[in-house]
Each structure stands twice: as C-alpha cells, then as structure tokens.
Amino acid sequence: MEISVSFLPNSNLYLIPIAAIIGGIAAFGITMLVAEGAGGSATNYILAGTIVGFAFSSFQTIFLSLGQDNITNAMWWLFGSFANITWENAWLVFIPVMGVSLISMLWAREFNLFMMGEDQAKQLGLNVKRFKRCMMVIASVLTALCVAFCGIIGFVGLVIPHACRMALGSDHRLIMPASIVLGAMLMLFADLIARTVLSPIELPVGAITAMIGTPIFAYMLMTKGRSYNG
C-alpha cells in the first residue's frame, strides 16, 4: 500500500485507495495460499502472515528509498491520518465498510459457537473451516478499505473488541455493534487530540491511538493473564 503513496502522490482521488486495496487483498491471498499449503492451522496462518509481512516490508523499504521526493506523504500515511479525508471519500469508506460489517454481524451466533472451541462448534453443526475463511476474507476487506484512505492506525482493532468483551461478556450480538460504536468514539477522541494538542501542527492519529492503546492493552493482557493462570 505504501508503494502507491510513494509513486502516485498526485494521482486521481480514487487511484491510490484502489491500488492500496488491491495490494492488501493480494497480501491476504498470498497468506492464505501459503497457510493452506502448510496445513491450514492457526499457527500456519500466523507464520504465513509473518512471512508475507516481512516480504512486503522489504518491497516497501525499496520503493520508499526510490521515491525520496514523496517520502513525506508516505511516512504520514504510514502513521495514519484523517487530514485528507473529505465528505466525498468518507462516504466511499463508510458505505462499503458498514455493509460488510452488517454481514459479519449476521453471523454473531456462529461467532459464539466458534468461541466455544473448534471441536464443540463442529459438533453443533458449524463448518469451522469455511467460517474461518469467510471471516478472514471479511476482516481483510474491511482492513484494506479503511487503511487505503486513512493509513495505518494501530491498536483500535486490538484494544476495543477486548474491552467490549470484558465489559459485555462473550455474546457477539453485543460485542460487534459495541465495538463499532466504541471504536468510532476512540477515533474521534484521538483525532481531536491530534488536531489540537500542538495546534496548528497536526499529529498522526496512529501515534495517538498507540499512546492510548499500549497501556490499556498491557493492563488487559496482565489482567487476563492472571485470570488464565488462576
């Protein structure tokens, strides 16, 4: 995705997001092929994602080095920002993202079954392999759509669902809509801080979410770790 920012800085409004979405889906497709070829276990997916991530990072470094004139734009995108978001491209993100999100919420029951464990989910009639593939496709499409327009904004998808689970329990009929609302509230708060704390300088939103999310996630990790260890 960074490649399109480095080499297409003055291109059509839609060209960079389209190139970024294609790159994101391509990375996901390669990851799926490698993981499925290795057996399709959760560990295989993690390792395949790591391998593909390193490969794309190497290409990213090369193209950033070649596109020195546009490196400022690329670095700003790498840290995430809403500075270039207008109502026109906001709708371009909102409509497909909400559509795909609603599709995933229709499968809240299947998520609840899956969280019981793969063996038990199979006994209750869930096609676990197909379900995992569908959810990975949906997650990849959602991520590609958002990152294509806003850049990389970390910790939102990591902290918010865990916080909702801790507050609301394990029912995904509650967790999924709550995650959407709470995630939007966090982004508004982070963007407000980014625009005002050192005004007129605007900070990258991704840096703000990382500063907020890191201690929160560390606390949740330690709390959960103690509960798992008894």
Q: Is residue 129 part of a domain?
A: no
Alpha-carbon distance of 172 to 94, in angstroms, equals: 22
List, for residues 201-225, the tens digit of each pLDDT value.
888 888 888 888 888 888 877 876 5
Inform me whether the pLDDT recorded for 153 exceeds 80.
yes
List, for residues 99-145, the tens digit of each pLDDT value.
888 888 888 899 899 888 888 888 888 888 888 888 888 888 888 88
Residue 182 is predicted with a pLDDT of 92
Q: Is residue 170 part of a domain?
A: yes
Alpha-carbon distance of 8 to 114, in angstroms, equals: 42
Q: Is residue 78 part of a domain?
A: no
Inform me whether the pLDDT recorded for 37 exceeds 80.
yes
**3-state per-residue secondary structure call for 40-82:** CCHHHHHHHHHHHHHHHHHHHHHHHHHCHHHHHHHHHHHHCCC
Q: Work out the pLDDT band at 54, boundaries 50, 70, 90.
A: confident
Q: Is residue 199 part of a domain?
A: yes
Q: Is residue 112 part of a domain?
A: no
Domains in the chain: how many in total?
A: 1
Inform me whether the pLDDT recorded for 91 exceeds 80.
yes
Alpha-carbon distance of 92 to 205, in angstroms, equals: 20
Domain region containing 164: 152-215
More reliable by pLDDT, 191 or 93: 191
Q: Work out the pLDDT band at 227, boundaries 50, 70, 90.
A: low
Q: Is residue 165 part of a domain?
A: yes
Residue 228 is predicted with a pLDDT of 45
Residue 230 is predicted with a pLDDT of 46
- CA 112 from centroid of its chain's CA atoms: 21
List, for residues 1-30, the tens digit of each pLDDT value.
545 544 455 555 567 777 777 888 888 889
Helices first, then strands: H and E counts in the chain: 11, 0
Q: Is residue 135 part of a domain?
A: no
Inform me whether the pLDDT recorded for 38 exceeds 60.
yes
